[in-house]
């Protein structure tokens, strides 16, 4: 049997979205309860007919989905997904709007009649669609105009238009309508895409780089649309000036021009051929063998300065810094062209991921100055979010590799580039101590090396054709269905179906027979989870977020504030503040000795905003738990010829729990108005009131 379009959409959504509820599906697709029930019946009939397990609706309104269903039906951006809209599927409104945008972008002349005939909707619907698009385009300072001579067309900055179309192209690629939109509505032929893909392969060879799988998949479509726009006489008007000379003098520019000219694909317009070269050079890479014209050693120095500043602001020593620097170089070389020349980022982050990253993002942004000096440009927030994801992957407490205790070896396959693959690898590495993750690979690398890999298991963000056992996980960290992943790992390694042993399932049985309040239920669930994780050696840790959401006010309380009225030395202030932590059993007595040895004077690496001194040392030196002591020295103390009034001694036991409090402390140290408020506070209550204002910001 075949599924109708609505059922295809519902199946895709359930398979690819963790813990989505019936209510969310009903609201997204404007369904009634009966319509959803009918769709689920059709979906389950289809799954059973195709030898898959049925989707089960749980008591809390979410769905229990077998991992094989997730593997087969969640990934849409790859060509191997089993879900695809056929050419007769009726486009839902959101995708119809994308088609209208792409048509206006690439076509020579378009009227209401063209839209109505092509999309098989009324002219009134098209008029309504264009009104909605005009509202959406206001944020880009673009609009859609109409004239009898030109039909419908964009009005606005050409570079902005191209950036928008790059984003829209990626959105279409990720949809079940991708083939339908590109082939049916935009009339893009497969041979056009293959021509552009061969072009990128030739450029890879000439530059000695390897582009990410995603860029090899999506860039050819943008290049086809870009070629159409140039042929329709829409040119870049930006004057690059001295920046143009900078880029045209580079080896990589010469290499790209050589390939484009050799294939007779170099635009005649000077600004457009420069734009095309910059776009190609800005594509993300997974491997970089060539020595680019960018001074890598200078970039390395600025990265090291950035990491030093970041470590000070986070009070964290990052692991494996040499590898971190090399991978940052790999990421920042193509990013240089995006940032330096104002091109659109080739990686879009969801608001959910951004919200999770916010505390660390603020600290990374506050530390980014050395990189901005290298780029000679302000780094956009989207690029800083990417760097934040990257840094977050290295903030894990690394698991010592003991191959005697690992049960299987695994590889991670990810088409999204070095940032996503590192983030995914570290997440899984923390979840599964019994697995040794030997390598991260692109899809191309995997197929080339598959026969030589010494592994028994693959984790991938996209389905693969392989005889090896494979577990498909979500593209975004926030979307990973940990329950499904853990269950399948246990099935593969221990040959046990662990679903009936999971804490939520056991708890549902207990609740049938024993009434309990919310607090009791939470405690029982926590103990069941600890026991479950212990039995199967599962770690319950997150990479960038901490579930307890600690704030600065949770660590700096009335008991952890001291006011020192007398004139004291740095050594005396350090002793008084650290003794507060010792008295509260947050640190051992030896913690003070280590601080005294490390910091006989105040040094730049323990200064926040040049106002707050933050002495700290590694957990191994006597830290028992997370804690802080704020000492206000009324008369100030002198060190290295400078006077300071505030000291916060910090005890950190891991690399995550204190990130949000540190972000809030950094905000205080960076704001002269707040420092003046602290200066005017004469007692603990007043100081505490200022700290309390930073709760959950």
The pLDDT tens digits of the residues spanning 174-185 come to: 776 788 888 888
Half-sphere exposure in the Cβ direction for 104 (13 Å, CA): 28
CA distance 50 to 64: 18
pLDDT value at residue 354 = 58
CA distance 483 to 434: 17
Query: How far, CA to CA in Å, does 694 sit from each of 354, 388, 550, 556?
Result: 20, 22, 11, 11
What percent of the chain shows pLDDT beyond 90?
23
Residue 340: pLDDT above 80? no
Cβ within 8 Å of residue 244, ≥6 positions away: 274
Residue 452: pLDDT above 50? yes
Task: Tell me if 5-73 shares its fold with 88-187.
Answer: yes
Specify which residues 457 forms β-bridges with: 410
- pLDDT tens-digit map of 264-299: 998 888 888 888 888 888 887 776 665 556 778 899
- Cβ atoms of 393 and 423 closer than 8 Å: yes
**Which CATH code for domain 88-187?**
1.10.10.10
Six-digit token string for 310: 């970041």
> Which of 32, 58, 56 has the alpha carbon at shortest distance from 44?
56
Positions of E strands within 442-577: 457-460, 470-472, 561-564
Q: What are phi and psi of 163, to 5 degrees?
A: -65, -40
pLDDT value at residue 36 = 85
Specify which residues 211 forms β-bridges with: 285
Angle formed by the axes of helices 5-16 and 33-49, nearest 10°: 80
Through-space distance between the first and last CA atoms of the chain, rounded to whole angstroms: 52
Specify which residues 209 forms β-bridges with: 288
The position carrying tokens 């269950």 is 487
Average pLDDT, integer, range 672-697: 86
pLDDT value at residue 478 = 44
**Least confident interval from 90-104, 198-212, 223-237, 644-658:** 90-104
Residue 473 burial class via C-beta count within 10 angstroms: exposed 0-12, middle 13-18, buried 19 and up: buried
Core vs surface per residue 399-431: b (16+ CB within 10 A) or e? beeeeeebeebbbbbbbbbbbbbbbbbbbbbbb
| Greatest Cα pair distance in the chain | 85
pLDDT value at residue 477 = 47
* Top CATH class, 5-73: mainly alpha
Which 3 state secondary structure label does DSSP give 130? helix
Which 3 state secondary structure label does DSSP give 185? helix
**Which CATH code for domain 552-692?**
3.40.930.10
- State the pLDDT confidence band at 89, using cuts at 50, 70 and 90: low
- Cβ atoms of 437 and 411 closer than 8 Å: yes
Residue 629: pLDDT above 90? yes
Delimit the domains of the chain by residue range.
5-73, 88-187, 188-291, 296-393, 408-535, 552-692
DSSP 587: B
- pLDDT tens-digit map of 568-584: 999 999 999 999 999 99
Six-digit token string for 126: 């098209």
Residue 3: pLDDT above 80? no
Specify which residues 637 forms β-bridges with: 644
pLDDT value at residue 79 = 38
Residue 83: pLDDT above 80? no
pLDDT value at residue 242 = 59
- The helix (H) or strand (E) run that includes residue 44 is helix 33-49
CA distance 473 to 97: 30
CA distance 459 to 474: 10
pLDDT value at residue 483 = 66
Residue 630 burial class via C-beta count within 10 angstroms: exposed 0-12, middle 13-18, buried 19 and up: buried
Residue 540: pLDDT above 70? no
- The helix (H) or strand (E) run that includes residue 498 is none
Average pLDDT, integer, range 638-645: 91
Predicted model pTM = 0.65
Specify which residues 646 forms β-bridges with: 612, 632
- Cβ atoms of 71 and 17 closer than 8 Å: no
CA distance 580 to 583: 5
Cβ within 8 Å of residue 205, ≥6 positions away: none
CA distance 298 to 420: 26
Residue 377 burial class via C-beta count within 10 angstroms: exposed 0-12, middle 13-18, buried 19 and up: middle
Please state which of the four CATH numbers 1.10.287, 3.30.70, 3.40.50, 3.10.580 is assigned to the domain occupying 408-535.
3.40.50
Handedness of CA 489, 352, 462, 85 (dihedral sign): positive
pLDDT value at residue 397 = 45
Cβ within 8 Å of residue 395, ≥6 positions away: 314, 316, 318, 360, 543, 544, 655, 656
- pLDDT tens-digit map of 390-441: 787 677 544 444 555 567 889 988 887 666 777 778 778 777 878 888 888 8
Six-digit token string for 618: 């590694």
Q: Does the domain made of 296-393 have the CATH classification 1.10.1790?
A: yes
């Amino acid at each position: 049997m075949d599924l109708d379009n609505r059922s295809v959409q519902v199946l895709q959504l359930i398979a690819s979205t963790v813990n989505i509820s019936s209510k969310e599906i009903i609201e997204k697709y404007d369904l009634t309860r009966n319509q959803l029930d009918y769709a689920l019946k059709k979906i389950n009939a289809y799954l059973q007919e195709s030898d898959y397990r049925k989707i089960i609706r749980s008591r809390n309104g979410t769905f229990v989905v077998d991992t094989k269903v997730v593997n087969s039906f969640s990934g849409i951006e790859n060509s191997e997904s089993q879900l695809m809209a056929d050419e007769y599927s009726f486009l839902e409104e959101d995708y119809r709007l994308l088609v209208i945008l792409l048509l206006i972008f690439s076509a020579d002349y378009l009227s209401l009649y063209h839209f109505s005939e092509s999309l098989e909707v009324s002219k009134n619907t098209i008029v309504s669609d264009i009104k909605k698009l005009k509202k959406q385009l206001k944020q880009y300072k673009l609009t859609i105009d109409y004239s009898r001579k030109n039909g419908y067309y964009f009005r606005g900055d050409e570079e902005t238009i191209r950036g928008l179309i790059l984003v829209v192209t990626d959105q279409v690629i990720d949809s079940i309508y991708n083939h339908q939109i590109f082939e049916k509505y935009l009339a893009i032929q497969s041979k056009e895409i293959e021509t552009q893909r061969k072009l990128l392969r030739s450029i890879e060879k000439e530059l000695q780089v390897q582009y990410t799988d995603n860029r090899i998949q999506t860039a050819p479509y943008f290049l086809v649309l870009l070629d159409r726009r140039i042929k329709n006489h829409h040119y870049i008007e930006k004057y690059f000036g001295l920046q143009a000379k900078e880029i045209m003098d580079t080896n990589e520019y010469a290499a790209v021009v050589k390939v484009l000219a050799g294939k007779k694909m170099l635009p005649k317009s000077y600004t457009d051929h420069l734009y095309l070269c910059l776009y190609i050079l800005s594509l993300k890479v997974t491997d970089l063998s060539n020595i680019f014209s960018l001074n890598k050693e200078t970039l390395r120095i600025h990265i090291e300065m950035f990491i030093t500043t970041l470590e000070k602001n986070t009070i964290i020593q990052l692991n494996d810094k040499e590898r971190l620097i090399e991978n940052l170089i790999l990421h920042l070389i193509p990013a240089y062209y995006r940032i330096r020349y104002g091109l659109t980022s080739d990686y879009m982050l969801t608001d959910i991921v951004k919200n999770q990253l916010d505390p660390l993002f603020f600290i990374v942004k506050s530390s980014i100055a050395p990189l901005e000096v290298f780029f000679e440009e302000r780094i956009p927030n989207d690029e800083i979010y990417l760097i934040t994801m990257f840094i977050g992957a290295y903030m894990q407490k690394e698991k010592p590799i003991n191959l005697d205790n690992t049960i299987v070896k695994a590889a991670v396959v990810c088409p999204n580039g070095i940032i996503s693959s590192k983030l995914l690898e570290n997440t899984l590495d923390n979840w599964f101590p019994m697995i040794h993750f030997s390598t991260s690979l692109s899809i191309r690398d995997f197929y080339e090396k598959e026969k030589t890999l010494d592994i028994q298991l693959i984790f991938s963000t996209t389905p693969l054709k392989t005889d090896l056992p494979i577990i498909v996980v979500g593209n975004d960290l926030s979307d990973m269905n940990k329950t499904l992943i853990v269950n399948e790992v246990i099935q593969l390694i221990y040959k046990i179906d662990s679903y009936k042993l999971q804490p939520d399932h056991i708890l549902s049985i207990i609740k049938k027979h024993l009434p309990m309040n919310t607090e009791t239920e939470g405690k029982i669930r926590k103990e069941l989870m600890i026991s479950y994780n212990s039995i199967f050696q599962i770690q319950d840790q997150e990479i960038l977020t901490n579930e307890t959401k600690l704030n600065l006010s949770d660590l700096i309380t009335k008991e952890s504030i001291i006011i020192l009225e007398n004139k004291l030395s740095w050594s005396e202030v350090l002793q008084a503040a650290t003794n507060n932590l010792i008295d509260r059993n947050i640190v051992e007595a030896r913690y003070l000795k280590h601080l005294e040895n490390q910091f006989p004077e105040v040094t730049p690496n323990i200064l926040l905003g040049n106002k707050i001194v933050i002495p700290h040392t590694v957990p191994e030196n006597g830290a028992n738990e997370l804690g802080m002591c704020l000492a206000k020295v009324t008369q100030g103390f002198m060190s290295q010829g400078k006077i300071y009034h505030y000291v916060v001694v910090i005890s950190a036991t891991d690399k995550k729990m204190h990130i949000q409090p540190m972000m809030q402390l950094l905000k205080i140290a960076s704001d002269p108005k707040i420092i003046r408020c602290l200066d005017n506070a004469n007692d603990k209550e007043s100081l505490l009131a200022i700290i309390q204002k930073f709760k959950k910001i």
